[in-house]
């Protein structure tokens, strides 16, 4: 039964996930092309900008996790809610909590796979031109933005499953504030503590989906 549910989610999200992955790969290639151009033009000055000036040469990736989260979350949950198909899913011969978390966990893993491919590509290609002193802080800052995308995905699920419009609007405001905070342009090398804080925010957001799923299943108004 779970495999059938996952297959249904895959049918809904596959093309949107592909678009998100292509956008992510294109952003990484754009970053690497920019780095290669800077190194060829004036390597000493360019490395000075990166190491001393802490230039964020990877800003093209900033909104990629958020874009992927919106693409996956909307394609996954909006059809379920607008067509009232989620009620059928929640009445499968499985626990309602298990059904919701199968759906959410699937979307989370799909989002994780997309950003992992992007980060591995960035690491592999970027290491050709840049030393570890530049790559490691860059990856940490990019990881903060990944957490922002994951947080956005969980809140999209919450808003989609929430049966009351005014609560949904409240969720949107909270999600906007949280995601805006996480997706700020933080200085390179200054996000070690923030990574743990935002990881906690993402974790709490993942469990919060259960509350709105329960309300939707019970028809609480």
HEC assignment per residue over 84-115: CHHHHHHCCCCCHHHHHHHHHHHHHHHHHHHH
Instruction: Find out whether 207 and 97 touch, Cβ atoms under 8 Å.
Output: no
Token pair recorded at residue 183? 């997706």
- Cα–Cα distance between 125 and 218 in angstroms, integer? 50
Portion of the chain with pLDDT greater than 90, in percent: 52
Query: Could you tell me how many residues make up the chain?
Result: 221
Confidence at residue 221, expressed as pLDDT on a 0 to 100 scale: 42
Confidence at residue 202, expressed as pLDDT on a 0 to 100 scale: 94
Number of domains in the chain: 1
Confidence at residue 51, expressed as pLDDT on a 0 to 100 scale: 83
- Cα–Cα distance between 31 and 198 in angstroms, integer? 25
Mean pLDDT of the residues in the chain: 86
Confidence at residue 97, expressed as pLDDT on a 0 to 100 scale: 67
Q: Considering only CA atoms, which of 31, 65, 69, 93 is closest in space to residue 157?
A: 69
Place of tokens 């491919």: 117
> Band of the pLDDT at 15, cuts 50, 70, 90?
very high
Confidence at residue 58, expressed as pLDDT on a 0 to 100 scale: 93
pLDDT digits (tens, 9 = 90+) for 75-95: 988 877 776 666 555 555 566
| Residue with the larger pLDDT of the pair 109 and 218 | 109
pTM of the shown model: 0.89
- Mean pLDDT throughout 61-69? 96
Confidence at residue 132, expressed as pLDDT on a 0 to 100 scale: 85
Instruction: Find out whether 115 and 24 touch, Cβ atoms under 8 Å.
Output: yes
- Cα–Cα distance between 134 and 131 in angstroms, integer? 6
Token pair recorded at residue 205? 């957001």
pLDDT digits (tens, 9 = 90+) for 96-129: 667 777 888 899 999 999 999 999 999 999 999 9
- Which range has the worst mean pLDDT, 27-41, 115-129, 130-144, 154-168? 154-168
Count of other CB atoms within 10 angstroms of residue 147? 24
- Which range has the worst mean pLDDT, 61-65, 84-88, 140-144? 84-88
Number of Cα atoms under 13 Å in the Cβ half of residue 56:
14
Strands (E), the chain: none
Q: Considering only CA atoms, which of 9, 89, 24 is closest in space to residue 61?
A: 24
pLDDT digits (tens, 9 = 90+) for 158-208: 888 877 778 889 999 999 999 999 999 888 878 888 899 999 999 999 888
- Cα–Cα distance between 41 and 29 in angstroms, integer? 18
Confidence at residue 93, expressed as pLDDT on a 0 to 100 scale: 58
Domain that holds residue 121: 2-218
Portion of the chain with pLDDT greater than 70, in percent: 86
């Amino acid at each position: 039964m779970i495999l059938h549910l996952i297959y249904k989610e895959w049918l809904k999200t596959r093309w949107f996930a592909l678009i998100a992955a292509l956008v992510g790969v294109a952003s990484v290639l754009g970053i690497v092309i920019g780095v290669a151009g800077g190194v060829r033009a004036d390597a000493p000055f360019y490395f000075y900008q990166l190491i001393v000036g802490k230039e964020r040469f990877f800003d093209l990736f900033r909104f990629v996790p958020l874009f992927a989260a919106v693409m996956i979350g909307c394609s996954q949950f909006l059809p379920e809610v607008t067509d009232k198909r989620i009620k059928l899913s929640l009445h499968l011969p499985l626990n309602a909590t298990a059904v919701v978390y199968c759906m959410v966990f699937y979307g989370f893993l799909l989002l994780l796979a997309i950003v992992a491919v992007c980060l591995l590509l960035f690491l592999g290609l970027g290491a050709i031109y840049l030393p570890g002193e530049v790559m490691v802080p860059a990856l940490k800052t990019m990881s903060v933005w990944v957490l922002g995308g994951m947080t956005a995905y969980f809140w999209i699920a919450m808003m989609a499953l929430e049966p009351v419009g005014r609560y949904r609007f409240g969720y949107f405001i909270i999600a906007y504030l949280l995601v805006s905070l996480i997706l700020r342009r933080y200085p390179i090398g200054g996000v070690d503590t923030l990574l743990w804080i935002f990881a906690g925010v993402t974790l709490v957001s993942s469990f919060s989906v259960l509350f709105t799923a329960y309300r939707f299943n019970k028809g609480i108004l």
